Each structure stands twice: as C-alpha cells, then as structure tokens.
C-alpha cells in the first residue's frame, strides 16, 4: 500500500507499483518508468528529451576585471579550477564530460526501454522527440493512462501514508538487531554538519560525522553500519578525518557505503575504507584527485585604484595574499602539497580496494565515473540502492535475510525543543527572534560568519562540476 505525494504513488515491495506524474523532466520520468504502470495528469507536460551538459567559464570575465586564478590540480581530469583558468573545455575535460553524460544517457535509454518494453532504438527516438503533452505521451506509449489524483486514489482502494525515510527510533525494549545509519550529506568541511540554508548547501561536518561513526562503532547493540554518502567532496583534511573513523569502525563491524547522487572526490575518499560499497547505476563517483589555489586580485585593485603595502615576517608571509602572485618557491610548495595528498589518496584507495597504486592512478587523475562504470573498474562492489546496502549490511553481520532490523540514525534526530534552543542560542531576546524575521543584514552576517569559519586556503578533494538532469 502507498501514498500520493509529490506526484508519485509507490507500492510496497512485491506488489504492483503505479507511478503518477503531474509534470516531469528526464529524472522524474526515469524514476517513474521503474513502476508497472505510469499514470499522468491529463494536463501534464513531460519534458523528456536528450541530455546536455553546459559548462560556464569565467576566465574571460576575470581577464576584464584583472583577476587571475592560480591553481594546481593533480590529475589531468581534475577540472574543478578550469572554469576559472580556461575559456573552453580542454581535451581531457571534454573527454570526461562526453564519457559521463554518455554513460548517464545510455543508462537512461536502456532502463526506460526495458521497463516500457520497447527497443533501445525506439526509446531513444521517443526521447529525442520530446517534450510531450499528456495526450502525445499517451499516444507514444510513454504513459499508460491519463487521470486526476482522486481518480488514481479511488482506483487503488484503501491506502495509508508511508513516511518514506529511514528514521527508525527503536525503543528501550526493542529486541530487533540494530543497524546504524550515518549520513555524509553535502560538502565535506571541518566542524559541525549544517542543513541546507539560504545562500549555501548542506555541509557534512567532519566533527559530526566522525562522532556519529564512533558512537555507532562503540554501541554494542549496533551490528552493522550503513554510511549514506551523498557528497561531491570538499576539504581534503576533513575527508581524511571521516575516512579514519570509517576505517576504525570497519575494523570492529561491517560498514557498508550506500552512494546517493554523488559520492565523488572527498565523497569517495570517505567511502574507500568501508567493508563494501554499493552505488546506483547513475551515481557520480570517483574523481580521485586534488586541487589547491587562490584568486589574485592585483589587476582588479589596479583598475579601481586600490593599493596595498606590506609588512612581512618570514619569506612566505604573503602566501595567502590576494594581491600578490605566488613566488616560484611558493608554487613549488603548493605542487608538493597537492602531490603529497594525491599520493595519499591513491594509497588509501589501493589499500582498501586491494589494487596496485599504479592501477588506481590509471583510473584516477580526477576522472569521474558513473556507478555502473565504477563497478567495472573496481571502485564499487555492487549496484543498487539503500535496500541493497541494508541487505548487504545484514549479510555481513550474519543477520538472517528474513530477520527484521531496526535502523537507527546516528546522531539521533533532535527534538523540536532542542532545535528551538539551538536556533535561539546567541540571541538576547528569544521571543523577539521567534516573531520577527531576520533582516537582510543579519542574514548576510550569519552567512559571512559561516564562510569565514573555513580555512582561507586548503587542499580540496572535490567534484569538478555539478550535474543536473533536466
């Protein structure tokens, strides 16, 4: 039994699955096609078409303003700085983009063709023929029926609401075996995890994730850990902190990584020491590489009449200055730092994936892989979703497949009162804050404080780009 929410009806495993589309892009249709039947709203628009990747390059604008991007990247495919240092794709950048988007497109066509019982060639032609309104989609066989939500629900009979998350809070007398769920969601940075907020995405804080892993490892009632990684990476040092705790936990009990949309660069770094890695076919992963850099604003300062004077102690005193380029000595140091971390990354993967370092280097160099391709080159163990990761965790912990388990989130979700106290922290008048929205200045100050908490320069193990399927 299921629910109608957000344009999707889902039914329990082993039963008929019906999906309902109000409006749809490629990603929504890809998900809906996994069902036995697709019902669309009579006035729905299905924006089904081919896939495209567009990259914006800022070097031309930087040149006009006198801004120079100084970056060092380890791996010819580590293209994160390219948007600042190039005006178009390098051959390696284009090769990677074509391989990635081509892999996603093939998975999309083949999966939808199989579920809609069409040939891949016919399905590709239909995808290329979009967008469609509901009537055209019905005529093309992309959907099975056109109905309104109440008609769909009436046809389904009795339903009940399914919460759709994994927040199981076992009680004190719960005797089921317990599997811990630890989340690495968002950019990996030092400090505490932060939810997605105004002007910034979610942050997977190394302190929060490391503590959750330690707590789960030390809890005798926890038989296995599922580490859900949905991250493009981030700080190299923060990734290393989390990876160390993953290794420590895996030495004591099974740790299974379940990869989400992204588990790349630092996201792969934290996954590597796990007992096993499960990815979806379209997970974006790999990107084993590192970059380091800064923006030099000397040209911009000259254009607007800003001048700088200096008092230096030590030959490297101006290393992080935005008004001076790196000296040749500083450049050599940066290259050494980046090279050292890249070697560490290769060794970590080689040790935990039981590969030779040189073999890892051949598939690394910042190269991004889909989950399906990553399995072929040995970066992941199995293809599947959270349910497959949970089943594997049970198997590794010698829990019978038929045995129900309690999935407990670490750290435990906070109650409403705890969240209220945290939100009120640092304010003299809690009542006033609850009633009066933050001013623009206050919001800007909070955002600035969050940014300034991070190091001014750091080694970044991060995905070179974001991919949105539309």
Is residue 265 annotated as part of the catalytic site, yes or no?
yes
Catalytic residue among 24, 33, 206, 265: 265
**CA neighbours within 13 Å on the CB side: how many for 440?**
0
The two structure tokens encoding residue 375: 């399995």
Which phi-psi region, left, alpha or beta, contains residue 108 (left: φ > 0; alpha: ψ -120 to 50)? alpha
Computed on alpha carbons and rounded to an integer, the radius of gyration of the chain in Å comes to 25
What are residue 285's DSSP bridge partners?
Answer: 263, 369
In angstroms, the CA 347 to CA 116 distance is 44
Determine the straight-line distance between the first and last CA of the chain, rounded to whole angstroms: 30
Is residue 336 annotated as part of the catalytic site, yes or no?
no
Residue 281 to residues 33, 171, 221, 259: CA-CA distances in angstroms?
A: 15, 36, 33, 10
Q: How does strand 276-279 pair with strand 255-264? A: parallel
Asked if 250 and 274 touch (Cβ cutoff 8 Å), the reply is: yes
Catalytic residue among 78, 118, 375, 394: 78
DSSP 194: B
Report CA dihedral (86, 88, 94, 100) to the nearest 10 degrees: 90
What are residue 203's DSSP bridge partners?
Answer: 187, 194
Task: Give the residue numbers marked as catalytic.
Answer: 78, 265
């Amino acid at each position: 039994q299921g629910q109608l929410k957000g344009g999707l009806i889902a039914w329990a495993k082993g039963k008929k699955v019906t999906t309902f589309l109000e409006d749809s892009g490629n990603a929504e249709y890809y998900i809906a096609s996994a069902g036995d039947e697709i019902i669309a709203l009579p006035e729905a628009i299905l924006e089904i078409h081919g896939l495209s990747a567009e990259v914006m390059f800022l070097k031309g604008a930087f040149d006009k303003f006198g801004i120079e991007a100084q970056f060092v990247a380890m791996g010819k495919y580590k293209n994160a700085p390219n948007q600042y240092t190039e005006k178009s794709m390098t051959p390696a950048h284009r090769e990677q983009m074509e391989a990635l988007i081509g892999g996603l497109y093939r998975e999309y066509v083949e999966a939808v063709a199989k579920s809609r019982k069409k040939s891949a060639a016919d399905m590709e032609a239909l995808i290329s023929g979009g967008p469609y309104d509901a009537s055209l989609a019905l005529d093309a066989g992309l959907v099975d029926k056109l109905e309104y939500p109440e008609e769909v629900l009436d046809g389904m009979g009795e339903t009940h609401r399914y919460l759709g998350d994994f927040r199981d809070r076992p009680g004190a007398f719960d005797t089921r075996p317990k599997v811990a769920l630890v989340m690495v969601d968002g950019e990996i940075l030092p400090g505490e995890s932060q939810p997605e907020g105004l002007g910034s995405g979610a942050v997977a804080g190394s302190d929060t994730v490391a503590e959750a892993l330690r707590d789960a490892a030390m809890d005798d009632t926890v038989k296995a850990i599922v580490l859900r990684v949905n991250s493009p990476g981030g700080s190299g040092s923060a990734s290393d902190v989390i990876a160390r705790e993953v290794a420590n936990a895996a030495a004591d009990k099974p740790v299974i990584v379940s990869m989400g949309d992204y588990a790349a660069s630092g996201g792969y770094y934290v996954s590597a020491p796990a007992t096993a890695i499960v990815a979806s076919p379209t997970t974006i992963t790999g990107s084993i590489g590192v970059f380091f850099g800064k923006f030099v604003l000397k040209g911009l300062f000259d254009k607007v009449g800003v001048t700088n004077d200096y008092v230096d102690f030590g030959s490297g005193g101006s290393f992080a200055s935005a008004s001076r380029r790196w000296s040749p000595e500083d450049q050599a140091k940066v290259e050494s730092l980046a090279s050292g971390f890249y070697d560490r990354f290769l060794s970590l993967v080689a040790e935990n994936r039981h590969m030779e370092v040189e073999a890892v280097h051949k598939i690394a160099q910042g190269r991004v892989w889909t989950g399906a391709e990553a399995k072929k080159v040995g970066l992941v163990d199995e293809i599947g979703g959270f349910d497959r990761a949970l089943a594997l965790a049970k198997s590794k912990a010698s829990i019978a497949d038929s045995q129900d388990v309690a999935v407990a989130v670490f750290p435990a979700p906070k109650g409403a009162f705890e969240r209220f106290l945290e939100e009120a922290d640092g304010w003299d008048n809690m009542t006033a804050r609850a009633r009066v929205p933050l001013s623009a200045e206050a919001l800007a100050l909070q955002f600035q404080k969050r940014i300034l908490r991070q190091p001014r320069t750091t080694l970044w193990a991060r995905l070179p780009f974001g991919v949105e399927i539309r």
